C-alpha cells in the first residue's frame, strides 16, 4: 500500500469545490453573526468568552492526544498571557505551553504561518519535555516516522510519514502553498477547503518528533481566523475531540489517496459544528448576565453561590440537573432550608423544576436551547 506522499501527483490534492459551496457560505455568515453578537457582551463577559473558548480548545487538542490538563491552570495561564487578571495558580509546563500557543493564535490571527512560527509553536507545545531530541526543529532521526497501535509484536501501522531528509522540501511546498492561497495571496482559497487541506497536508508530512496533531489543528484554527480577519471564537478541537474516533479514521482514509472530497466534507462539518458551539456560549453569557442583573439583591448568599456554580458549567448545564443533594454539598444547608431556597428560586424564575420527590431536578431558566 502506498501512502499519499508516495503517489504520483503528490501533493496535488483533488476535490470538487462545489461540494463545499454551501458550507463555505454558512461559515462566512456564521462568523458575521458571531462578530455582531459579541457587541452585546460587556468587557468582563467578553474576556470570559475568550478564556473559555481558548481553554476549551487547549484542553481538547491535548485530550485528543491522550493528555489531560487542569482547566483552572490552563485558564490562569491564558489570563496571564493575555494580560488579564489571573489567580496565582502554578501551572505545569504542558499547561503553560499549550496556553502560550493558544494565546499566540488569539493575539495574532492575521500573522502568516512560517517555518519560524511553527518552530516557536513546537517549543511551546513541547515545554518541559526531556524525551524529545529535536525541539523547535524538524525531526532528524533515520528510523521511519510511523503512527502505530496495538501490542508489541502485533502492531498495526496506520500511517508512515516521509523520511526526515525530505522534510525541508515537503514543508517548503506546504508553506509556499499557504502563502499563495491566503486571502491576499495570488490564488486565494475558501476558508474551509484551505484549512482542511492544510491540516491533512501537515499531518501527512508529520514533520516533528511529537506535537504534530496539536500544531496541525493550530494551523487550521489560524487559517479560519485569517479568513475572516478576526479570531474565530470557535472551538474546533472540541468538535474534533467529540468525534475523535471518526477524526482518526478520516485522516487514515485520506492518507492513501489524493482524492479528498470525503475528508473535506467531514472536516467542514466539524468546523461548522464548532462555530455553533461557540455561538451557544456567546448566547449563554448574554443570558447569564441578564439573569444575574435581574436577580441582583434578591438572593441570599446560598442561592447566589449555587447559581454561580451552575452557571460555571456553561451552556451544557449542570450534569444531570441540580438536586437537593447537590445543593447541600455546595452550601452545607439543612434540608428544610434547601427546600425553601429552591422553591424561592423557582418562584423568582431563576430555576425550572423537573420530576418529583427524589427524582426532582432543577435547571437554569435561560432563554437558550441546551
Whole-number Å distance between alpha carbons of 108 and 110: 6
Is residue 293 in a domain?
Answer: no
Ranges of H-type helices in the chain: 21-38, 43-64, 71-81, 93-107, 115-125, 167-180, 191-205, 212-227, 236-242, 244-254, 261-295, 301-311, 324-331, 335-347
Is residue 292 in a domain?
Answer: no
Is residue 318 in a domain?
Answer: yes
Whole-number Å distance between alpha carbons of 73 and 55: 10
The last residue of one of the domains, among 227, 257, 283, is 283
99 with 233, same domain: the answer is yes
Nearest to 218 by CA among 20, 26, 64: 64
pTM of the model: 0.87
pLDDT value at position 118? Answer: 98
Nearest to 193 by CA among 4, 9, 19: 19
225 with 320, same domain: the answer is no
**Do 365 and 349 touch, CB atoms closer than 8 A?**
yes
Is residue 183 in a domain?
Answer: yes
Range of the domain at 332: 299-364
pLDDT value at position 201? Answer: 98
pLDDT value at position 370? Answer: 45
Residue ranges, the chain, pLDDT below 50: 370
In the three-class reduction of DSSP (H, G, I as helix; E, B as strand; rest coil), residue 182 is classed as coil
167 with 240, same domain: the answer is yes
**Do 229 and 110 touch, CB atoms closer than 8 A?**
yes
Looking up residue 134, the CATH number of its domain turns out to be 1.10.3290.10
Query: Cβ contacts of residue 114 below 8 Å, gap of 6+?
Result: 175
The C-alpha cell that represents 123 in the structure block:
517549543
Whole-number Å distance between alpha carbons of 106 and 82: 9
**Do 256 and 10 touch, CB atoms closer than 8 A?**
no
279 with 339, same domain: the answer is no
176 with 82, same domain: the answer is yes
Looking up residue 314, the CATH number of its domain turns out to be 1.10.10.10
Count of the separate structural domains present in the chain: 2
Whole-number Å distance between alpha carbons of 78 and 96: 8
246 with 360, same domain: the answer is no
Q: How far, in Å, are 43, 116, 178 from residue 113 at the CA level?
A: 30, 8, 8
Residue with cell 517549543: 123
The last residue of one of the domains, among 283, 314, 349, is 283
At 214-262, the pLDDT tens digits run 999 999 999 999 888 776 567 899 999 999 999 999 999 999 999 999 9
Is residue 268 in a domain?
Answer: yes
Burial class (CB in 10 A: 0-12, 13-18, 19+), 359: exposed
Handedness of CA 284, 285, 286, 290 (dihedral sign): positive
151 with 10, same domain: the answer is yes
Q: How far, in Å, are 100, 120, 137, 204, 208 from residue 133 at the CA level?
A: 21, 16, 9, 21, 10
Phi-psi region of 199 (alpha: psi -120 to 50; beta: other; left: phi over 0): alpha
Q: What phi and psi, each to the nearest 5 degrees, are found at residue 229?
A: 60, 30
Cβ-based neighbour number of residue 26 at 10 Å: 16
Nearest to 162 by CA among 4, 14, 1: 4
Whole-number Å distance between alpha carbons of 97 and 92: 9
306 with 166, same domain: the answer is no
CA atoms within 13 A on the CB side of 137: 8
The last residue of one of the domains, among 218, 250, 283, is 283
200 with 330, same domain: the answer is no
Is residue 58 in a domain?
Answer: yes
111 with 29, same domain: the answer is yes
pLDDT value at position 178? Answer: 97
67 with 22, same domain: the answer is yes
pLDDT value at position 182? Answer: 95
The DSSP code for 5 is G
Is residue 239 in a domain?
Answer: yes
27 with 150, same domain: the answer is yes
Is residue 270 in a domain?
Answer: yes
Q: How far, in Å, are 91, 134, 173, 282, 290 from residue 285 at the CA level?
A: 27, 42, 43, 5, 9
Amino acid at each position: 500500500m502506498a501512502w499519499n506522499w508516495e503517489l504520483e501527483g503528490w501533493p496535488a490534492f483533488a476535490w470538487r469545490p462545489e461540494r463545499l459551496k454551501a458550507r463555505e457560505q454558512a461559515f462566512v455568515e456564521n462568523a458575521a453573526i458571531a462578530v455582531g453578537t459579541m457587541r452585546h457582551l460587556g468587557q468582563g463577559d467578553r474576556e470570559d468568552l475568550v478564556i473559555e473558548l481558548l481553554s476549551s480548545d487547549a484542553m481538547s487538542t491535548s485530550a485528543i492526544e491522550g493528555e489531560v490538563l487542569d482547566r483552572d491552570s490552563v485558564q490562569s495561564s491564558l489570563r496571564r498571557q493575555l494580560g488579564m487578571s489571573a489567580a496565582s495558580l502554578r501551572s505545569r509546563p504542558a499547561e503553560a505551553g499549550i496556553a502560550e500557543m493558544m494565546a499566540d493564535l488569539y493575539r495574532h490571527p492575521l500573522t502568516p504561518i512560517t517555518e519560524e512560527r511553527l518552530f516557536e509553536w513546537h517549543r511551546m507545545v513541547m515545554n518541559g519535555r526531556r524525551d524529545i531530541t529535536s525541539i523547535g526543529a524538524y525531526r532528524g532521526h533515520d528510523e521511519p516516522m510511523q503512527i502505530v497501535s496495538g501490542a508489541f509484536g502485533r502492531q498495526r501501522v496506520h500511517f508512515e510519514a516521509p523520511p526526515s531528509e525530505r522534510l525541508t522540501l515537503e514543508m517548503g511546498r506546504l508553506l509556499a502553498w499557504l502563502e499563495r492561497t491566503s486571502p491576499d495571496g495570488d490564488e486565494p482559497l475558501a476558508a474551509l477547503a484551505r484549512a482542511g487541506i492544510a491540516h491533512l497536508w501537515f499531518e501527512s508530512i508529520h514533520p516533528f518528533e511529537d506535537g504534530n496533531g496539536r500544531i496541525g489543528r493550530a494551523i487550521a484554527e489560524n487559517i479560519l481566523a485569517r479568513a475572516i480577519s478576526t479570531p474565530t471564537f470557535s472551538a474546533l478541537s472540541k468538535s474534533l475531540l467529540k468525534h475523535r474516533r471518526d477524526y482518526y479514521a478520516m485522516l487514515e482514509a485520506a492518507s492513501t489517496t489524493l482524492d479528498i472530497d470525503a475528508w473535506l466534507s467531514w472536516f467542514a462539518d466539524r468546523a461548522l459544528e464548532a462555530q455553533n458551539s461557540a455561538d451557544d456560549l456567546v448566547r449563554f453569557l448574554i443570558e447569564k448576565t441578564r439573569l444575574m442583573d435581574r436577580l441582583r439583591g434578591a438572593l441570599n448568599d446560598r442561592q447566589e453561590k449555587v447559581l454561580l456554580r451552575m452557571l460555571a458549567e456553561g451552556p451544557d448545564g449542570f450534569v444531570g440537573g441540580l438536586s437537593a443533594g447537590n445543593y447541600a454539598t455546595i452550601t452545607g444547608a439543612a434540608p428544610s432550608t434547601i427546600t425553601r431556597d429552591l422553591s424561592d428560586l423557582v418562584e423568582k424564575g431563576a430555576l425550572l423544576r423537573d420530576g418529583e420527590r427524589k427524582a426532582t431536578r432543577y435547571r437554569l431558566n435561560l432563554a437558550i436551547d441546551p
